[in-house]
Amino acid sequence: MTNEESPNLSSFDDESLNKAFAALEQQARDDASSLDSPDAVEAFRLRWTGRKQGRLNDVSSRWLKAAPSEARKSVGERFKTLKDLVEGLLEQAAGSGPTDATLAAEAIDITLPGTRRLTGAEHPITRTLNEIVSVFAALGYSVGVGPEVETDYYNFESMNFPPGHPARDTQDTLVIANQEKRGLRERLLLRTHTSPVQMRTMERQPPPVRIVIPGKVHRNDAADATHSPIFHQVEGLCVDTNITFSDLKGTLDHAMKALFGSAVKTRFFPSFFPFTEPSADVQISCIFCGGKGCRKCKNSGWIELLGCGMVDPAVFAFAAEKQPAYDPKKISGFAFGMGVERIAMMKYGISEIGQFYAGDMRFLGQFA
């Protein structure tokens, strides 16, 4: 829009002013008489009250400000009247409002349902992992973590798997490529269990230690209904003076009852791990049949759930290289490790481990 200017005023006596303002008022009325659409109202608004090019602004800057001081009051009063008139006209025009047809076209049906956002929920693995951790946290255990890409030393050697020891073969290891230039101890691999964090913890702090270590582990296993090359474990380590196998049994019996219900019984079977001596597999009474025998427990009434044992003195000897207080003559301890997927599958009656990783909302939604 071009700037529409009112003529400059040459005299400021009442008569001249009345005439000049009357002409403007007439113009405003004429303009307002033909406002038949929202666009026209908007054009009127801009033309008269626009900040830069509006006529009111023009009058204010050229008549009001140019007025000699004795005429300023009378110009101001008339300007105010004009301004009120324009605003009144504008209000009237806007008030007459859009037509029913325009309204109908723009209407929103507020009775339509809104967009519903899905509520987030913990993944069943995270949930089970947190639940296991909190059982031990309530017993005074702290929580630790360690790297998933681990050295041969922490994953194997310091856990008392000597180089070339056949027990290494029981944990089908995924190794990182191009490590041949490094010494065996420094070679990188994907940790096959959370046990290396036992050593990392002991190297950092002298006894006593009570810690649980949740985390992801990797094995070169073919995927099937119950195996996945990536899964989760919760490791436990307790080291202090006079820790005995009874402490281990009591702790794990309590933990299994806390996780699966107080009716659950536990039993310990001799087993082997290089880093514990003696070692045991823990079985719980079948939570599906209560121990009577069913398909899930292969009619034995028992289900094997985790590995554990008393920390092998050879492991303490590795820890003592950095922390001499790990003297097996003065301290003792136990360790355990459990698979999170396996526990989650039992708790929630899931028969395919792959369900955890498929990202199928029909499955995951059941945990929301």
Q: In this complex, which beta carbon is closest to ligand PHE, that of residue 56 or of residue 239?
A: 239
Each residue 169-208 as x (binds ligand PHE by CB under 6 A) or -, in order, gives ------------------------x-x-------------
Nearest residue to the partner ligand PHE, using Cβ: 337
* Cis omega (within 30 of 0) for bond into 328: no
- DSSP H helices, the chain, are 14-32, 38-49, 55-59, 72-96, 100-106, 124-137, 152-155, 196-204, 245-260, 313-320, 340-348, 361-364
3-state secondary structure of 33: coil
Give 281's contacts (C-beta < 8 A, 6+ positions apart).
268, 269, 270, 271, 304, 306, 307, 308
Minimum CB separation from ligand PHE for residue 193, in Å?
A: 3
Minimum CB separation from ligand PHE for residue 335, in Å?
A: 4
Among 232, 310, 337, 356, binds ligand PHE (CB under 6 A): 337
Site residues for ligand PHE, 222-281, by CB under 6 A, read 235, 273, 276
Minimum CB separation from ligand PHE for residue 284, in Å?
A: 16
Minimum CB separation from ligand PHE for residue 315, in Å?
A: 10
Q: In this complex, which beta carbon is closest to ligand PHE, that of residue 207 or of residue 291?
A: 207
Each residue 44-63 as x (binds ligand PHE by CB under 6 A) or -, in order, gives --------------------
Q: In this complex, which beta carbon is closest to ligand PHE, that of residue 68 or of residue 270?
A: 270
Q: Report, in angstroms and rounded to the nearest whole number, the Rg of the chain calculated over CA atoms.
A: 41
CA–CA gap between residue 63 and residue 130 (Å, rounded): 77
| DSSP string covering 63-98 | IITTS-GGGHHHHHHHHHHHHHHHHHHHHHHHHH--
Q: In this complex, which beta carbon is closest to ligand PHE, that of residue 196 or of residue 207?
A: 196
Q: In this complex, which beta carbon is closest to ligand PHE, that of residue 63 or of residue 336?
A: 336
CA–CA gap between residue 207 and residue 331 (Å, rounded): 8
Q: What letter does residue 153 receive in the DSSP assignment? A: H
> How many residues sit close enough to ligand PHE to count as binding (CB under 6 A)?
11
| Structure tokens belonging to residue 277 | 């001596």
CA angle 134, 138, 142 (to 5 degrees): 75
Q: In this complex, which beta carbon is closest to ligand PHE, that of residue 78 or of residue 210?
A: 210
Q: In this complex, which beta carbon is closest to ligand PHE, that of residue 170 or of residue 366?
A: 170
Q: Can you say whether the dihedral through the CA atoms of 149, 153, 154, 159 is positive or negative?
A: positive
Q: In this complex, which beta carbon is closest to ligand PHE, that of residue 71 or of residue 310?
A: 310
Site residues for ligand PHE, 277-336, by CB under 6 A, read 307-309, 335-336
Minimum CB separation from ligand PHE for residue 306, in Å?
A: 7
Question: The tokens 């794990």 sit on which residue?
Answer: 252
Q: Can you say whether the dihedral through the CA atoms of 357, 361, 365, 368 is positive or negative?
A: positive
Minimum CB separation from ligand PHE for residue 194, in Å?
A: 7
Minimum CB separation from ligand PHE for residue 238, in Å?
A: 11
Minimum CB separation from ligand PHE for residue 232, in Å?
A: 11
State the burial class of residue 48 (Cβ atoms within 10 Å of its Cβ: 0-12, 13-18, 19+).
Answer: buried
Q: Under the rule (CB under 6 A), what is the footprint of ligand PHE?
A: 193, 195, 235, 273, 276, 307-309, 335-337
